[in-house]
Amino acid sequence: MANADTNRRGPIVLVGGGKMGAALLAGWLAEGVAASDVLVVEPHGETGQALAARHKVKVVSETPTAFERPPSLVLFAVKPQSLDAVAPLYKGLTGPQTCFLSIAAGKTLGYFEKYLGKDAAIVRAMPNTPAAVGRGMTVLIANGAASEEQMGFCETLLRAVGEVRWATEESQFDAVTAVSGSGPAYVFLLIECLAQAGVEAGLPADLAMDLARATVTGSGELAHKSDEPAATLRQNVTSPGGTTAAALAVLMGENGLQPLMTKAIAAAAKRSKELAG
């Protein structure tokens, strides 16, 4: 991770060592960031102790007040409802050498500018849980104070756990949250529903679940590795008048999967707007 060379930067401060924070930390270390260049702020003792033991990083329970060098990055990986109390604690770090990166759903660039100042370099990100296995999808947007170098640094760190895209407008983040941020839950529900449908068709529950999990994960990997559009991959499985065509006639019908998914995404995007306040 050459762009993340902290020999010429201040430390990376990870605020929050929960599931997403821990996934990012593991990805950074795997890509060559030195454990000594990361400081984790985690108030929950057991969580912090586990991270320190596993990754050999320094973990503190309270917000540090002084640094030998200004942090290159402060990453907020805490729950959105905690940020009103957490974000103001870092205003003293605002300066040209420090970039603030948030992965909190619903919290806008303006929200952080309110607490950290208009001059603070801020990047907003929406990752998702497949980051835990290096297959995440993260969308980013930055405010006007963030430099190209800082934006590149954030992108490099997030590429350690998957793919990265940049949004052109912050208003897109509600839809991003609805599609990819919440999206893994929809896929897991698909596995549940496919398995249950198998049971109702006569399969033992354990076999139905094994088939559903393997089919969904295998199809996802095929889509990942193929250059073909999803529609073409679907058509490749579908023989005219066959079993797949019979099922797709239901799933692609007037009240099928597309209108249901459109309604679900709209509900998630609406809730994202509400969380932003």
Place of tokens 């702020």: 41
Find tokens 């990047």 and name the residue. Answer: 123
Q: What is the pLDDT of residues 38-59, one digit of tens each?
A: 999 999 999 999 999 999 999 9
User: Can you give the pLDDT at residue 66?
Assistant: 78
pLDDT number for residue 1: 53
What is the predicted pLDDT for the residue at 272?
Answer: 87
Name the superfamily (CATH) of residues 2-173.
NAD(P)-binding Rossmann-like Domain (3.40.50.720)
Domain residue extents for the chain: 2-173, 183-276
CA distance 221 to 219: 5
In sequence order, the 6+-apart residues with CB closer than 8 A to the CB of 270 are 174
- Angle at which helix 205-225 crosses helix 230-237, to 10 degrees, equals 130
Is the confidence at residue 244, as pLDDT, over 70?
Answer: yes
In DSSP terms, 41 is beta-bridged to 15, 60
pLDDT of residue 6: 46
In the predicted structure, residue 77 carries a pLDDT above the cut 60: yes
Q: What is the mean pLDDT of residues 176-200?
A: 97
* CATH H superfamily, domain 183-276: ProC C-terminal domain-like (1.10.3730.10)
**Is the per-residue pLDDT at 116 higher than 60?**
yes
pTM over 0.95: no
